[in-house]
Chain A
Amino acid sequence: MTMNRTVETDAPETFIDEINQSRTGFGKKIDANPKDVEKGLAKLVLTLIELIRKLMEKQAMRRVEGGSLTDEEIERIGETLMKLEDKMQELKEVFGLEDEELNLNLGPLGDLM
């Protein structure tokens, strides 16, 4: 015989708070509205650029972790990452997109980022 279904917690307000936070963001919403084709395209393009930026950043972090960078390299990598981030910020502002929107849901693989 099946137990009675319950929902039990020792910290209801904390869970409500954290669950809410974990769900905000509009990654799942796809702009199918034809008036927003431009925005939809911008979102897609910027998502991919953001992905590349993150990959570059990750690669840079690994090199720093490796411990054998010259001053010149540190300066160059730092400069590049800084400029990339500024540029992304600019593009997001131009298209009115938030961080949470720059994501793709890959079904079984979860979210891209």
Chain B
Amino acid sequence: MDNLVTESEHVTLLEVLDRVLNKGVVISGDIVISVADVDLIYLGLKVLLSSVETMERLRGAPITGPMQEPA
């Protein structure tokens, strides 16, 4: 039986990001300044990390609907 491929950098990244962006202790309330809405943008097999604020700044307009993948 063949061995598992040890590490794919991209797969590792997806596993790490899933945990760190969405899971764990999520503290709510006025006293926490958390840039909570970090989003993953999938470009084919690549992945981009962006906060909603950054995306809005780059586009020059608030994000309101489903995000279009850049062509």
The chain A residues found within 8 Å of chain B, CB to CB, are 6-10, 12-13, 15-17, 19-20, 23-24, 26, 29, 31, 33, 35-36, 39, 96-98, 100-101
Contacts and interface: CB of A to CB of B under 8 A. Distances in A.
Given A23-B40, A23-B42, A6 B66 contact: no
> Closest 5 A-B residue pairs measured CB to CB?
A12-B8, A8-B4, A7-B12, A20-B42, A12-B11
Interface string B58-71: 00001011110000
Interface residues of B, number: 21
A8 B6 contact: yes
B5 A31 contact: no
Contact of B14 (A19, A26, A101): A19
B37 interface: yes
A33 B14 contact: no
A7 B64 contact: no
B45 interface: yes
Contact of A8 (B5, B14, B62, B67): B5
Contact of B10 (A16, A96, A97): A16
A35 B66 contact: no
B30 interface: no
A7 B7 contact: yes
A5 B15 CA distance: 12
A100 B65 CA distance: 11
A33 to B, nearest CB: 5
Nearest to A26: B66
